[in-house]
Structure 1
Amino acid sequence: MKTAKELLQAYIDGDALESAALFADHGALELPYLSDLGVEPCYQGPANIGTFLTFLHEQMYPGFHFIDVQIYIDTPDQAFGEYTIHHQSGISGKTVHQRFFGHCTVANGKIVLLREALNVLAAADAMFPGGLADVIDRK
């Protein structure tokens, strides 16, 4: 059975559907920072997670991959790591330099919760054609 570190690393290394398949049936991917950007902050179950990750991998950041992976907490049922992308946004065309932080909790060889965080200002600037002004104008 895979440990939390192994599952987090597989999530980081996988494509959208490979990563989604690592989640338990009721497992969740929480992205609390997305609510500030008008996007759903939590996806539950492999199918919903796969839909979101497919959007991320194919439209938001086509062809991206994580680099500079560092795992700081490594227990059988929890892992915490940082991982980076340097990639062009498929939406705005801007180059994104983003550091992600992920806390992964597992049970029975599946991810039950992966909570990610990142710099929302950098994400908004990259996501929207007008950058941060688009987010500020919507509020």
Structure 2
Amino acid sequence: MEPTNLPEVIKQVEEEKHLSQADVARQLQMTPQNLSHVLKGRRKLPAEAAIELFDLTGIHPRKLLEMSKKLFAAGAHAGMILAVVSGAFFVTYPTETQAQTKTTPTQFLLCKDATQDQGDLGQGTAHT
């Protein structure tokens, strides 16, 4: 059965090729952190990575980019500005467990401004 979303595609590659997520990231010419951001919908899959992933899966790059676009659209709306401090702001991203229990820590990313790539200035955990 063909995967229907990008995390499923990556999981299938990991299982079929006996690779770790970090190994898959390297094959896609990405850092493991960037691939993680893509899989969480925080960044879009680069076109070059879609071509590399096509070589591993046979799934057309256009379909892979569409999967990434949908994931990014869902992830982009999940973040919420927590606070503005000296021109920088904190953006929260609920963890899966938090969505279920509403009691676990929230991941946050410190960004200089809305146009800067998320996470460039720092990352941490805040308890709610």
Q: What TM-score does the superposition give when structure 2 sets the normalisation length?
A: 0.30
* Greater RCO (Cα-Cα under 8 Å, separation 6 or more): 1
| Structure with the higher fraction of residues in strand conformation | 1
TM-score, scaled relative to structure 1: 0.28
